[in-house]
Amino acid sequence: MKYALITGGSRGIGRAVAIKLAGMGYHILLNYKSNHAEAETTKAAVEAAGVTCELLPFDVANKDHVDEVLGGWVEAHKEAKIEVLVNNAGIREDSLFIWMTDEQWKGVISTSLDSFFYVTKHVINGMLTAKFGRVINVVSLSGQKGLPGQTNYSAAKAGLIGATKALAQEVARRNITVNAVAPGFIKTDMTSDLKESELVNMIPMRRFGQPEEVAEAVAFFASPASSYITGEVLSINGGLYS
């Protein structure tokens, strides 16, 4: 059985990615923090594709929690192959820098960046042993160009871009690729508080993207079609680059 692990998979981009990878034949390990009802909805959609979906509730920013739940699963399933890891979990806590609290800074950095380290550490060894793997990190337009009010989020996602490029070089000889997708404004719960009617004027395509459009890019990086691409960041932003 080949598995794909998606963090932050209960809703939005994570849900769309889980459903897409299920359609490619992957059994899904679905991580989420607390929204069990939404995770169950995603689980049902994944299983409709004819594969299994196992829910792994843990806080990706809590090392002990990651070690206990994900580390425990890996230890208990030594014959299983997690071929695809999608580091999707992230939160926004927007504020102008001068008013940003320690909690807003640390929470966003840890959920997007520390989680990459904690989660990937448990998965990469199996990929190295199998001499195959696909690590796909969900970053952001904010991490590429910076956005006002998002110093914390921009820093976290820019850091993840750097980590993507560095790790890609370390594991390439073992047929493991490490890439990132950088969504712009995507219509999800995370962007529901934004003024879409105003922001679309900044976007050449004049609309927000859909989670399924991001999932298509993730699927490309998970597929054999991208086997000679690593350390790359693919933007999905409707033309909004500067």
Read off the pLDDT of residues 69-116 as tens digits, 9 standing for 90 and up: 999 999 999 899 999 999 999 888 889 999 999 999 999 999 999 999
Q: How confident is the model at residue 14 (pLDDT cuts 50, 70, 90)?
A: very high
Radius of gyration of the chain (CA): 17
Of all residues in the chain, what percent carry a pLDDT higher than 90?
85
Report the mean per-residue pLDDT for the chain.
94
Element (H, E) at 165: helix 151-171
Residue 193 has pLDDT above 80, yes or no: no
The pLDDT, as a whole number, for residue 192 is 66
pLDDT band of 1, cuts 50, 70, 90: confident
Give me the residue label for tokens 């594969």. Answer: 51
d(CA 19, CA 181): 17
Rounded CA-CA distance 112/91 in Å is 7
Sign of CA dihedral 19, 24, 26, 31: negative
Q: Residue type for 105, please?
A: W
pLDDT in tens, 33-66: 999 999 999 999 999 999 999 999 999 999 999 9
Find the mean pLDDT for residues 152-158: 96
Integer Cα distance of 102 and 228 in angstroms? 41
Measured over the CA atoms of residue 229, residue 231, residue 232 and residue 233, the dihedral's sign is: positive
Which three-class secondary structure state does DSSP give residue 137? strand
- Locate all alpha helices (DSSP H) within 131-150, ordered by sequence: 141-145
Whether residue 198 is predicted with pLDDT greater than 90 in this model: the reply is no
Q: Please tell me the least confidently modeled range out of 66-80, 157-171, 180-194, 209-223.
A: 180-194
Is the pLDDT at 190 greater than 70, yes or no? no
pLDDT level of residue 202 (50, 70, 90 thresholds): confident
Rounded to two decimals, the pTM is 0.94
Torsion on CA atoms 56, 135, 20, 221, rounded to nearest 10: 180
Q: List the catalytic residue out of 3, 118, 153, 228.
A: 153
The DSSP bridge partners found for residue 81 are 2
| Token representation of residue 69 | 């739940």
pLDDT at 196 over 90: no
Strand order in the sheet with 2-6: 53-57, 27-32, 2-6, 81-87, 133-138, 176-183, 233-236
Q: How many angstroms separate the first and last alpha carbons of the chain? A: 43
Number of H helices, E strands in the chain: 9, 7
Task: Respond yes or no: is residue 153 known to be catalytic.
Answer: yes
Task: Please tell me whether residue 56 adopts helix, strand or coil conformation.
Answer: strand
Quick one: what percent of the chain has pLDDT higher than 70? 97
Q: Determine the pLDDT at residue 147.
A: 87
| DSSP assigned state of 28 | E
